[in-house]
Structure 1
Amino acid sequence: MKTKKKKENNFLLSPEQNALLLLSNKMLDNLQKTELLKILSRQDFDWHQFFKFSFLHSLWPIVYNKLKDNFPFLLPPDIDLKFSLLYKHILKRNSLLLDEFKKILFLFHEDGIQTISLKGLDLCQRLYEDFFSKTITDIDLLVPIPDIQKAIVLLHSKLGYNPYNPSSFKLSSLFFWEKDLTLIKKNFEEDLAPSICELHWAPCFNRVLDKRFLESTWEESSMSAFEGIPLQRMPKENELLFLLAHGSKHRWEKLSYLLDLHQFILWANFSQQDWQRVIEKAFRFGWSRFCLFGLALSKKYYESPIPEPILEVLERHWIKRETLFSAPPKSSSLPLIRHVTLFELFDSKKTKCLFILKSLRFPSSEIVKTYRLPSFLSFLYIPLSAFFTIRGWIQRNCNSLREFIRRVK
């Protein structure tokens, strides 16, 4: 049965996409190496397309290392040069963020601010055992709401961080509707690669939609350390659910999200009881659909060790996995899935309504940049947001107006 599924996946994927999936594995077995040798040796293998895929999915550090270690004789010189230049950049960027990350953790610990790291360097070190296998763009820290203002003052006064986009909204409004505040630190005025720190009071959406997750996480968190500096860590089932919600929120548009999920499942080594707690919390947090979305993808593309009964329980409360993978014929980008809106992923009417209100209250940055309205006309962003959300869903999921009407019915 497994062999049949694998053949089906290979039929759907281009040689470049298939090579990307195989090379992104942390470890390659002999069968995978043999398959890769066949794929990379093909006359029609498009190395430039492969490089583009690696870059778009933020997988090029681990992919490049695998190529250099196993297939250096197949790597074209121009592609090798592109990869090596990017790798020099990641060495510099991740080293900068590592230094800043340790400074911030130490500063917050000294002032008694509870801190949980989200994704980033801490996760990279645990899953890949180094700091340079992933592209890291910023530092994400979860801090209790009562400590946020204190944290902002400390970052500014002690380390020189300033808000990236000073908002006209009051902090109290941001704390209710939003999830984080971005601060940057420039070493000089024209610094194009500043250190970026995102202070989160909610991990994914806002303090209301993430309320049960936050209550569980802060109540069950435990003390740990990063490079000898104390910090708190959430329970592993909560961290798994966070990775699932975060990736699903972004529709798993980057395979790097999926790879992190797969590697975390391997690293955590969940027992049957652990999986039961994951499911119980997924339903309690209202994230069961996010959970199915990510776990189904991880099982399909990376063959993650997820018990089949767990997926079946989640399917009974939403849709079958086959429906998730029914991508429109025009879709060719990984992962090959039906477009799912965030509205669909929330599993209760209350959370759906809250999410709609949040989306209309704070329009996306893309809409604001494209349609710049004076402040007295800012109310027009509400119908604009609704229009583009509905239009995007129709374009991705329906080939005709008739099909859209059928789905609505």
Structure 2
Amino acid sequence: MNKNYSFDLSIISSELRLLLEIMKMENEDSLSTLKKELINEIDWDLFLLLVNHHRVYPLIYLKLKNIDNKMIPSRVLRILHEKYKENTLKMLLLSGEMGNISKIFTENNIRLLFLKGPVIAEDIYGDISLRTSKDLDILIPTNDISKADKLMLYHGYKREQSIVSFNNWRWMTHHVTYYHPQKKVQIEIHWRLHPAPEKEPSFDDLWKRKRVSALTTYRVHFLGKEDLLTYLVSHGARHGWFRLRWLVDIDKIIRKRINDKENISILLKEYVHYNYIGQAIVLANKLFNTPIPEEIKYISKVKLISKKAQLSYFYLVKMGNLEINQYNDSYSLIKLNLQKSFVNRYLFAMKSNIQRVFFVIKLFYPNNEDSEILKLPKSFYFLYFPLRPFLWAWRKTRKQSL
């Protein structure tokens, strides 16, 4: 392991430290090794907020329920149990809709790949109740976007944003969101795995390597092993790994691959920067004691990877703190916004040079929110460009006043 990188443990709260200690435990017997001194320092309300922020309450509950109740307040276990049951019901609901959407699209000659949701939970954890998911993410060919949009609207889904305001909206984003008010299900339809300009395989290549899930009565297609790993790594890195759930996914995948003696380096050179996979490995190893596969040990020793792992570690901790502080009525809104601005600098630093260029361009490019504030005829769309700074300022002012 690279000796040049370090993690400042002083910025970790007792609540986050306990959460990490619980996540690292591999069996019920080891739970008794928790330091009573650490548990005695815990603010359990803050602990619950962190568990919720990182979306790991199913795993935390299953481990904590086997601990002596004298160590863990019964109220905490009860709340976690309720969250666990709610998530199980949610995942069952999503599983049913996953089969339904797959059937509708397939019968209308639209190929689709599920990127996340219950099918991923079952593949990685072996149990859909062990991973959380707020929606279903599916990938379709770009040419089928309009057709898929009509199908979603016909079957009762409401589009949560306009996709027709600007002619070249597709390069500005990579998905559109739908919500079914009766079913209470949200679905994101993607035409790219990641925002442009990140390099990624074509849909046809992904389709050739697809897998079929037996989770539902109707066949469901999802990403192949290598494609799923590279997708999750890129997704987590793009978001600064600010939710531990994403790193837990990587931890579970790597441990399984090592046990099955499978090589995980295939496709990494072609579709994922080494700093992405290295960053994930360093973080997972540090936080969860994830073993580093022999064939990619050298990646974790690269200086740039070490630096980005430190940035992500800082971002992960600070974002968790911000999540908690939003529930504190005495917390200053100004201070909160300053801290958000501070940690967002780190997220910007995580981007490659070309990603930074696109990020800046998008700041000055009109979007659907601008068209919602000021309705203009299509022939006057060009006015959104010079008006963009004023519309942005108006939108921010309105949010502050709410």
TM bracket, shorter-chain basis: 0.7 to 0.9
1:138 to 2:135 alignment? yes
Checking the alignment, whether the CA contact within 8 Å between 1:213 and 1:285 is kept in structure 2 is no
1:177 to 2:172 alignment? yes
Q: Which AA in structure 2 matches 1:137?
A: K
Checking the alignment, whether the CA contact within 8 Å between 2:16 and 2:50 is kept in structure 1 is yes
What residue is the counterpart of 2:357 in the other structure?
353
What is the SS of the residue equivalent to 1:251? Answer: coil
Distance in 1 between residues matched to 2:230 and 2:22, nearest whole Å: 26
Q: Which AA in structure 1 matches 2:209?
A: E
Q: Which AA in structure 2 matches 1:221?
A: K
Shift of 1:299: 1.6
What residue is the counterpart of 2:395 in the other structure?
none
Q: Pairwise mapping of residues 212-361 of structure 1 onto structure 2 (< 5 A)?
A: 212=201, 214=203, 216-269=205-258, 274-280=263-269, 284-285=270-271, 287-307=273-293, 310-313=296-299, 316=302, 319-321=304-306, 324-325=309-310, 333=318, 341=346, 344-347=349-352, 349-361=353-365
1:16 to 2:4 alignment? no
Shift of 1:18: 2.4
What residue is the counterpart of 2:186 in the other structure?
196
CA distances 1:306-348 after superposition (whole Å, capped 9, x unpaired): 23662534654x6151663268999954789x8775654454x
Residues 151 and 57 of structure 1: is their aligned pair in 2 closer, same or farther, counting only changes over 3 Å?
Answer: same
Shift of 1:180: 0.6
Residues 229 and 379 of structure 1: is their aligned pair in 2 closer, same or farther, counting only changes over 3 Å?
Answer: farther
Checking the alignment, whether the CA contact within 8 Å between 1:251 and 1:339 is kept in structure 2 is no
Q: Which AA in structure 2 matches 1:303?
A: N
Distance in 1 between residues matched to 2:84 and 2:364, nearest whole Å: 40
Residues 67 and 222 of structure 1: is their aligned pair in 2 closer, same or farther, counting only changes over 3 Å?
Answer: closer
Checking the alignment, whether the CA contact within 8 Å between 1:180 and 1:201 is kept in structure 2 is yes
Residues 341 and 270 of structure 1: is their aligned pair in 2 closer, same or farther, counting only changes over 3 Å?
Answer: farther
Q: Which AA in structure 2 matches 1:169?
A: S
CA distances 1:222-267 after superposition (whole Å, capped 9, x unpaired): 4454324323333322211111111111111111111112112223
The size of the alignment, in residue pairs, is 366
Q: Which AA in structure 2 matches 1:307?
A: P
Residues 247 and 326 of structure 1: is their aligned pair in 2 closer, same or farther, counting only changes over 3 Å?
Answer: closer
CA distances 1:1-41 after superposition (whole Å, capped 9, x unpaired): 99x99x9887664432222123335842644x13326356x
Residues 324 and 10 of structure 1: is their aligned pair in 2 closer, same or farther, counting only changes over 3 Å?
Answer: closer
What residue is the counterpart of 1:56 in the other structure?
53
Segments of 5+ residues of structure 2 without an aligned counterpart are: 322-342, 377-382, 393-402
Checking the alignment, whether the CA contact within 8 Å between 2:258 and 2:293 is kept in structure 1 is no
Shift of 1:204: 1.9
Residues 329 and 124 of structure 1: is their aligned pair in 2 closer, same or farther, counting only changes over 3 Å?
Answer: closer
Query: Which range moves more in the overlay, 9-18 or 52-61?
Result: 9-18
Q: Which AA in structure 2 matches 1:162?
A: K
Shift of 1:353: 3.0
What is the SS of the residue equivalent to 1:297? Answer: helix
Checking the alignment, whether the CA contact within 8 Å between 2:240 and 2:316 is kept in structure 1 is no
Tell me which of 189, 209, 233 is aligned to 2:198. 209
Tell me which of 68, 74, 78 is aligned to 2:75. 78
Residues 77 and 111 of structure 1: is their aligned pair in 2 closer, same or farther, counting only changes over 3 Å?
Answer: same
1:99 to 2:96 alignment? yes
Query: Which range moves more in the overlay, 250-259 or 213-222?
Result: 213-222
CA distances 1:136-176 after superposition (whole Å, capped 9, x unpaired): 2101011111222222222222x311211234524x52323
CA distances 1:152-205 after superposition (whole Å, capped 9, x unpaired): 222222x311211234524x5232321111011111xxxxx8210100111121
What is the SS of the residue equivalent to 1:66? Answer: helix
What residue is the counterpart of 2:153 in the other structure?
156
Residues 314 and 201 of structure 1: is their aligned pair in 2 closer, same or farther, counting only changes over 3 Å?
Answer: farther
Query: Which range moves more in the overlay, 238-247 or 61-70?
Result: 61-70
What is the SS of the residue equivalent to 1:325? Answer: helix
Residues 296 and 380 of structure 1: is their aligned pair in 2 closer, same or farther, counting only changes over 3 Å?
Answer: farther
What residue is the counterpart of 1:34 in the other structure?
32
Distance in 2 between residues matched to 1:312 and 1:84, nearest whole Å: 41
Tell me which of 124, 128, 149 is aligned to 2:121. 124
Distance in 1 between residues matched to 2:83 and 2:64, nearest whole Å: 14
TM-score by length of 2: 0.75
TM-score by length of 1: 0.74
Distance in 1 between residues matched to 2:318 and 2:86, nearest whole Å: 26
Residues 372 and 112 of structure 1: is their aligned pair in 2 closer, same or farther, counting only changes over 3 Å?
Answer: closer
Shift of 1:381: 4.1
Distance in 2 between residues matched to 1:155 and 1:93, nearest whole Å: 20
- Identity level (%): 21
